Amino acid sequence: MSSFTCFLCNLFNGIGLAWWARIETSSPNTIYWYGPFLRYHGLERSLPIFLADITSEGPKTIKQIILRTHRHEPFTIDVVPS
């Protein structure tokens, strides 16, 4: 990725126009954030590779949501049951 593309991704993320995937798994109960992407189609094309990696870890369920938002670290959150 070029430095200009990185700059644009950071800019779009900062103003809430970047595309992100929010992936929730159970067993382990984790939320993963995948992004930022400038275009929806860029995220859509690369998401299967990320999901395959998560699937290899053996979660019980995987739920994904694609949204346009601002996101900051952490990009992986372990959810503690209440």
pLDDT tens digits, one per residue of 31-69:
999 999 999 999 999 999 999 999 999 999 999 999 999
pTM: 0.85
d(C-alpha 56, C-alpha 26), whole Å: 14
Is 81 a residue whose pLDDT tops 80? no
Tell me how far apart the alpha carbons of residues 23 and 12 are, in angstroms, rounded to a whole number.
21
Helical segments of the chain, H only: 3-14, 40-55
